[in-house]
Structure 1
């Protein structure tokens, strides 16, 4: 806001409108405006997706490699909530339809292409591991693979097997549907402190729910349910809200920065130890712990790493994970690599690639498929969407 001075007289500043006041304070979340892309998080995505690939190729080497999915959940909750709160802080509003449209353009087309290719393989080629894959492709396209798997108390059936890895995408997409609406209600009708309190309470509820559900026969229900995995996304969301609440000169932010930097390496080491030693998806003595409080513990460890990468870009973890090639792959290829790695592995197995050749061949095939997806599907749609937004900006500005 500008001020004009005459000789000895200062003009009174105009009284801001209610909409301008809401844009300025964001109900206590104006510091969200310092958000932006974090290269270290992109690098962490690359590491996580590579761990998932190795886990599916060599499960004996990393029996707990599925903890990488827990890391993905926390990153997703953090990034999505930061975007939503930043929009609210700037405009006093969250455009839900625009949010859902952007999410669809980012995730949907590439997913549908992968489903279509898998379905074609199932009907065109006599490949045993792709037999009936068109059913799995249909369930994946509808984002319900996790719900189907959650309803199977015994061993997983072959119904979703060709694309069983997409259960995690179902959990995320169901979270994306519910959380922005709930967050908007909280932001509009409560104080910033109350929003933080509600988010923290919501992080605890899935843990209590898992404790009530826990039984060895309920493992699939707990592992795949959007309600029983919600705390891992909500921990990331809570971190985004806390960082958005603290202004740059707040001493609590400095404290958080200092402790996240100190605890980052121990958190990474513990996550690595889980991947190396804890058989998460196999029957073991760890199951009662992991399927109740362990998932929240993994989310908290992931949140410590995320906080350090966001707040301490000059620290060594951030520098290592911000290496340009690693960050570029995480930003542009990690989603495609996750989509395509499981079909690629199954295809190579059907073609007789096994033993020590399967890991390098699987990584190479997955990376190639992700590059094709990025160049032909994802990047063109994202560029078109950005161009559309830039074209609309002058019109929106003139309408204010």
Structure 2
């Protein structure tokens, strides 16, 4: 039986995230890294099914865990949006009560993250919220009808808007494609790729890696333009679905525990990294503008773009690491672990190895 966690998928998740981050840092001028977003949605649907087999407690428990997983980091981002309002001295709308405390900094955060990141997070949260109900249809004919309907709806929408743009209509166009990509990821979790020859599975793994690499290197009007069309979404999504299912079904070379630990940390950091990479870039823009005005240092991003992206990526990674470790792991993770230990009658002073052994036996 294959494990629930697969470090190959962790590595793919890291590569997809870094591709999207660099894509945003380069301002979508030269690369077609938007295809990495296709991989994210297919992978999200796949992992939603795979991880659901290890969970118990019903829909209420599912929502509670997802809320603890997603909301604390969002609250940190919301707090940063509130701080930006304060330090920039922007006029706060004269809304009373809760609107003043919630809507104003939320709008500031949305403006800070830009539309692309906001709709991405919104789609992921919405699809994960729908997942328990979609899971009830999984493995039945109804699920395939839902998948087929979502594909046809995306096809109709592509005829109404042949190219996605960063405004409300374009984002709506995007959502129609992202839904069926999530459903495709769910469906490919049922594929028995173990029955395929190992050479074919490695072929699709290599094809997925080559597709991601090509999208990062070729100008966005090449692969990127294809990606913003219905045939492009179909091709890209199909490649990632076959790559992910194949990657799950092969036995990868063993890695040392320290390496596996850091691969897991890197995969866990992707949510925070995606949420904060654009605010960090905008913050650096402000910092360099102040340096030019106060210290007369004439440094511009267009003069040393790779250096600028590298500094922004390092700062974003450090910030994501600390948020992941101190918010997601040490605070949320320990809270959920204590609740799990209480439900399974694990002794309060049991060591980590004893706890894992008790859970394994149960």
Same fold (TM over 0.5): yes
What residue ranges of structure 2 are gaps of 5+ in the alignment?
91-101, 289-298, 347-358
8 Å contact from structure 1 (residues 267, 301) kept in 2: yes
Is the 1:202–1:234 Cα contact (8 Å) retained in structure 2? no
Per mean C-alpha deviation after superposition, the further-off stretch among 58-67 and 40-49 is 58-67
What TM-score, normalized by structure 2, do the two folds share? 0.75
Equivalent of residue 324 in structure 1, options 237, 256, 260: 260
Looking at structure 1, the residues matched to 149 and 338 of structure 2 have their Cα atoms a distance apart, in angstroms, of 37
CA contact under 8 A between 1:196 and 1:242: conserved in structure 2?
Answer: no
SS class of match (2:195):
helix
Shift of 1:140: 8.7
CA distance in 1, matches of 2:73, 2:135: 28
| Aligned-pair CA distance for 1:389 | 1.8
| Counterpart selection for 2:58 from 82, 88, 95 | 95
Residue 228, structure 1, aligned to residue 171, structure 2: no
Larger Cα Rg: Structure 1 or Structure 2?
1
Quote the residue 2:156 is aligned against.
Answer: 209
1:255 aligns with 2:196: yes
Partner of 2:205: 264
Contact in 2 for aligned 1:43/1:326 (Cα 8 Å): no
Superposition pairs of residues 173-192 of structure 1, within 5 angstroms: 173-184=125-136, 186-187=137-138, 192=139
Supply the distance in 2 between the matched residues of 1:44 and 1:216 (Cα, whole angstroms): 27
CA-CA distance at 1:278 after TM superposition: 4.9
Q: How many residues align?
A: 318
Q: Encode CA deviations 1:81-133: one digit per residue, 9 max, x unaligned.
A: 2223555xxx7xx7111111111111111111012112212321369xxxxxx
Distance in 1, matches of 2:164 and 2:151, equals: 23
Aligned residue in 1 for 2:96: none
RMSD over aligned CA atoms reads 3.5
2: CA distance, partners of 1:299 / 1:137: 35
Q: CA deviation at 1:364?
A: 1.4
Residue among 299, 313, 336 paired with 1:363: 313
1:136–1:162 CA contact under 8 A, matched in 2: no
SS at match of 2:141: helix
Q: 1:206–1:241: structure 2 CA closer, same or farther, 3 Å change rule?
A: farther
Q: C-alpha distance in 1, partners of 2:198/2:105? A: 44
Distance 1:136 1:59, change over 3 A: farther
Report deviation, 1:211. 2.7
* Pairing 1:121–2:84 present: yes
Mapped to 2, the partners of 1:63 and 1:107 lie a distance apart of: 29
CA distance in 1, matches of 2:218, 2:211: 10
TM-score (norm 1): 0.69
* Aligned counterparts of 1:217 and 1:164: Cα–Cα separation in 2: 11
The 3 A distance-change label for structure 1 pair 213 and 390 is farther
* Cα separation, partners in 2 of 1:212 and 1:183, compared to 1, 3 Å: farther
Cα deviation, residue 358, structure 1: 1.2
User: 1:346-361 maps to which residues of 2 (within 5 A)?
Assistant: 346-352=282-288, 354=301, 355-356=304-305, 357-361=307-311
Tell whether the 8 Å contact from 2:215 to 2:224 is kept in structure 1 after alignment. Answer: no
The residue that corresponds to 1:336 in the other structure is: 272
State how far apart, in whole Å, the 2-side matches of 1:218 and 1:164 are. 10
1:145-200 CA-partner distances (Å, limit 9, x unpaired): 6xxxxxxxxxxxxx56557523211001111122321321x25xxxx352663364
Residue 239 in 1 paired to residue 191 in 2? Answer: no
* Ranges in structure 1 where 5+ consecutive residues have no aligned partner: 1-32, 128-133, 146-158, 244-251
Q: 1:258 to 1:386 in 2, by over 3 A?
A: farther
Report the equivalent of 1:20: none
Structure 1 residue 373 corresponds to structure 2 residue 311: no
The answer on whether the counterparts of 2:184 and 2:241 sit within 8 Å (CA) in structure 1 is: yes
Query: Which residue number corresponds to residue 353 of structure 2?
Result: none
Aligned residue number for residue 355 of structure 2: none
1:384 to 332, 335, 345: 335
